[in-house]
Amino acid sequence: MQRKRRLVDAVRERIRVKHYSYRTEQAYLGWIRRFIGHHKGRHPREMSGPEVQAFLNHLATERKVAASTQNQALAAILFLYRDVLAVELPWLDDLVRAKRPEKLPVVLTRDEVARVLANLEGVHALIGGLLYGAGLRVTECLRLRVKDIDFGYGEITVRDGKGHKDRRTVLPQSMEAPLRTQLSRVKLLHEKDLEEHQPGVSLPFALARKYPQAPRQWPWQFVFPARKLCRSPYTGLPIRHHVMPDGIQRAVKRAVRAAGIAKPVSCHTLRHCFATHLLEAGYDIRTVQELLGHTDVSTTMIYTHVLNRGGRGVRSPLD
């Protein structure tokens, strides 16, 4: 048990040295624990490629996990061996890969999007508007800080997005007034925290050490702060984090039902709609790729299914 705890501590330390997010840390530790548990508590140094392959095959053939889930498990185990134990695994030639289904994204019409957004209220309406109007992922939106909103240039800067990349996207003009109102509320909460000598907002571990005063400074405050303080997983001190994604996810589900839409819609659907509607409006695919933060344009190409391909690009002979 002591040896296992030391291994977990080593993994956690290496993850933080590489500045991975706390969510990635929790996911990797979870998969490493499952890998060890699958092999009856054996230490990873006592195992190699065959045991890794057996675990991943178990996920694909018996657990029937999605391809993305198996890939995450593989990434966690490779991190353990390469970055923590400094062991190179042999290539997994007989690995059974979970099949990745080829699915087109669900996209709403402009009218359907308007109906969904009309059924969101308060902060949820503002978040929903940014998901659609700026093409943000949920976590990207919730992690926005005051300094990331540029009203002068009409831009939003997304920090440390998917793939640890920064990018700029459009700030919808219709969202400027609601955003300014939101920031005025956040300012009052921030001033209250300063009066009560609270430690401030959460920062990535390395930034908190580099800029010890930043958590209490206005530019670093979250645009969507949580109402209550929580404890930092790094220091144990009380901090103000951003709101959790569960609330907006539930709100969008309720709004979709209220709008009478019978499509499988989630928060991420609004990002799909952002890309698709821009392409429909005539914007070139490279511009959309940049706004979405896709590394490869082939990822963005999936949205062209609404233009001159597929069911919506063909006129039925019945008509």
Active-site option among 124, 137, 145, 167: 137
Q: How far apart are CA 91 and CA 244, in angstroms?
A: 39
CA torsion, points 135, 164, 67, 289, in degrees to nearest 10? 40
28 and 131 fall within a common domain: no
Dihedrals phi, psi of 149, to nearest 5 degrees: -100, 115
**Over its length of 319 residues, how does the chain's per-residue pLDDT go in tens digits?**
455 558 888 999 898 888 788 888 999 999 999 999 999 999 999 998 889 988 988 888 888 888 888 889 999 999 999 999 998 887 766 666 666 666 778 899 999 999 999 999 999 999 999 999 999 999 999 999 999 999 999 999 998 877 778 999 999 999 999 999 999 999 999 999 999 988 889 887 667 778 888 889 999 999 999 999 988 877 778 889 999 999 999 999 999 999 999 999 999 999 999 999 999 888 989 999 999 998 888 888 888 765 554 445 556 565 5
162 is catalytic: yes
Active-site option among 33, 34, 38, 162: 162
| pLDDT at residue 176, rounded to an integer | 95
Tokens standing for 12?
A: 């956690």
Active-site option among 145, 190, 242, 294: 294
| pLDDT at residue 50, rounded to an integer | 87
| pLDDT at residue 189, rounded to an integer | 95
263 is catalytic: no
| pLDDT at residue 249, rounded to an integer | 96
Active-site option among 12, 38, 159, 268: 268
135 and 52 fall within a common domain: no
Confirm if 239 and 232 have CB atoms less than 8 A apart. Answer: yes
241 is catalytic: no
Confirm if 167 and 135 have CB atoms less than 8 A apart. Answer: no
Edge-to-edge strands, sheet with 149-150 = 149-150, 155-158, 167-170
Q: How far apart are CA 62 and CA 65, in angstroms?
A: 8
Q: Say what the pTM is.
A: 0.79
162 and 235 fall within a common domain: yes
* Number of domains the chain contains: 2
Among 37, 20, 271, residue whose Cα is nearest residue 134? 271
Tokens standing for 36?
A: 């060890």
286 is catalytic: no
13 and 80 fall within a common domain: yes
| pLDDT at residue 265, rounded to an integer | 94
6 and 133 fall within a common domain: no
128 and 212 fall within a common domain: yes
* Residue 312 covered by a domain: no
271 is catalytic: yes
Query: Domain span at residue 263?
Result: 110-306
* Residue 187 covered by a domain: yes
State CA 38 to chain mean position distance. Answer: 28
| pLDDT at residue 90, rounded to an integer | 77
CATH number at residue 12: 1.10.150.130
Active-site option among 124, 190, 242, 271: 271
73 and 123 fall within a common domain: no
| pLDDT at residue 242, rounded to an integer | 94
159 is catalytic: no
58 and 122 fall within a common domain: no
Among 215, 218, 217, 145, residue whose Cα is nearest residue 187? 218
